[in-house]
Amino acid sequence: MKVMKFGGTSVGKPERMHQVAQLITKGNEPVITVLSALSGTTNALVEISSHLAEGNKEEARACIQKLEAHYQAFILSLLRQPNFLDKAKAIVAEHFEFLNIITRISFSDALNKDILAQGELMSTRLFSVYLEEQGIDHVLLPALEFMRIDANEEPNLPAIRTKLAALLQQHTDKKLFITQGYICKNARGEVDNLKRGGSDYTASLIAAAVNAGVCEIWTDIDGMHNNDPRVVNKTIAIEQLSFDEAAELAYFGAKILHPTCIWPAQQQNVPVKLLNTMEPSAKGTTIMHEAGSVGVKAIAAKDGIIAIKIRSSRMLLAYGFLRKVFEVFEKYKTSIDMITTSEVAVSVTIDQPTFLDEIIRELEPFGVVEIDKEQTIISIVGNQIAETKEVLKKLFDAIHDIPVRMVSYGGSRHNISLLVPSAYKKETLQLLNKGLFGLE
C-alpha cells in the first residue's frame, strides 16, 4: 500500500486534478489518496467563520457567494459529460446550501469546525465524480469514519488503525481509495480538524495505520529546500533528511510540512517523500531513518514567538524552582519551545499567546517577569551540526550584526536555535544562506 497526498495547489485547478488522476493510476500498487481542499478554500472558510463569529452575516453571505461562483466555474472545466456535470453541480449546491443555512443559526465552536470541513469534503467528492467520468474504479473513504483525535486533541492512532482496517476490509477487491485530509472527529464525536496544513498529518497517520511502503506528499515545490523560499531568493532542494531533521524543520516553520506530521511515519518507519505535482520527475526529498550526511542541511523560521524572562537572584538556583515555573505553563496547556538559563534568570519562549496574562500573573511571585513579543525562532537543522567543523564559527560570523536574544543547542543533536526580533528575520535568513551554504 502507498499513500499519496495532494495539497491545495495540486488540486486547485481543474487541469491539476486531471494530472493527479494520472499520477495515482500509474503503478499497480494499491493507493490511498489524500486530498486537501482546493487552494484558497480553507482561508475563505476561515473568513466566513470569523464574519459569523462577529455577527456579520451579510459579509459571510457575500464570501459564501463568491466561493460558490468559484466552484461553479471549476466544475465546468473539470468535467465534460452533462450527466457528471449535473452530479457535480448537485454536490456544490448541497455544500453551499449547508453554508447558507449555517448563517441563520447561532454560531458555536462546533459549527466553526463543520464550516472548515467543507473544503476537503467538496474536493474529494468532485474528484471522485471526475474519476467516475474517466471510468477509473475507486472507493471514496470518508475520513470522518476513521480519523480520530482524543480529548487532548492528539490523534488516536490505535482507533484510526482499527477503523481504517475495517473500512478497507469491505473493499478487498479495490486498489484505489480517495479520502479527505485535515478533517476528523474528536472525543465528543463532533467534526474537528488536525489544524491548518493538517492534510500532511492525515497522510502520515494513514501511512502508519496501514504500514504503507511509502508516504508521498505531493506539493508545489520539488522537496524540502535548504532555506525558506518565500523569504530567500536562492534555495536548493535537499535529497535526504532523517525523520528527526524533518520533524525539527517542520516544527520550526518549514511550511512544506505540518508541524507535527512526521512522528506517525517515523514510528512505523515509513519513508516520506516530498514531491512536486508540477514537475513529477524531479527527485524531491526522501525522509527516512538515516540522515544520509552530516552537517547543516537547512534553516527554518517560526514567527509569532513570545520570549518570557524570569529574573530572580534569590530563587533561581533553589531546588524545585524550574519545576514551579514549568507547572505554570503546564496548567495553561502552553508548550515551551526554547529555554535558556543563567545564574540570575531563565528565559523561555512560547508560540501560544492565549493565556499569556494568566501565565505572567502566576510567574510574578517567582521574580521579575519581562516579555518580548514579535520574536522569531531561526532553527539551523542538520545531523551532528555542532560537532561538524567550522559550523559554529560560520554561523556566528554570518550574523555578527544581528541582535540575538537567545541561543539554544543540545536539546537534540540536530538543531541550533536562535531567537531574534522578527524585524531581523529576513536579514538573518539571508546572511545564514550566504554564510552556511554560500548561496546569495
- What is the binding site for ligand ASP (CB under 6 A)? 7-8, 36-37, 42, 119, 181-182, 196-199
Using CB distances below 5 to 8 A depending on partner kind, what does residue 254 bind out of Mg ion, ligand ASP, ligand ADP, none?
A: ligand ADP
Shortest Å, Cβ 242 to Mg ion: 21
Binding of ligand ADP by 133 (CB under 6 A): no
Return all residues near 424 (Cβ < 8 A) that are at least 6 apart. Answer: 376, 402, 403
Neighbour count for residue 211 (Cβ, 10 Å): 11
Residue 176's Cα: distance from chain center in Å? 25
- Map the footprint of ligand ADP across residues 190-219, applying CB under 6 A: 197, 219
Q: What's the distance, CA 42 to chain centroid? A: 13
Q: In angstroms, give the least distance from the CB of 394 to ligand ADP.
A: 19
Nearest alpha-carbon partner for 122 in 94, 164, 156:
94
Residue 245 interacts with ligand ADP (CB under 6 A)?
no
Cell 488522476 locates to: 21
Does 221 participate in binding ligand ADP (rule CB under 6 A)? yes
Question: Which residues, numbered 249-288, are part of the site for ligand ADP (CB under 6 A)?
Answer: 254-256
Closest CA relative to residue 88, chosen from 63, 112, 124: 124
Residue 182 binding result from Mg ion, ligand ADP, ligand ASP, none, given CB thresholds of 5 to 8 Å by partner type: ligand ASP
- Least distance CB 21 / ligand ASP (angstroms): 19
C-beta closer to ligand ADP: residue 261 or 359: 261
Q: If contact means CB under 5 to 8 A according to the sort of partner, which of ligand ADP, ligand ASP, Mg ion, none does residue 230 touch? A: ligand ADP
Complex with ligand ASP: residue 8 or 284, whichever CB lies closer: 8
Rounded to the nearest whole angstrom, what is the least distance from the CB of residue 53 to ligand ADP in the complex?
25
119 binds, among ligand ASP, Mg ion, ligand ADP, none (CB under 5 to 8 A by kind): ligand ASP
Per CB under 6 A, residues contacting ligand ADP are 7-10, 36, 197, 219-221, 224-225, 228-230, 254-256, 298, 300
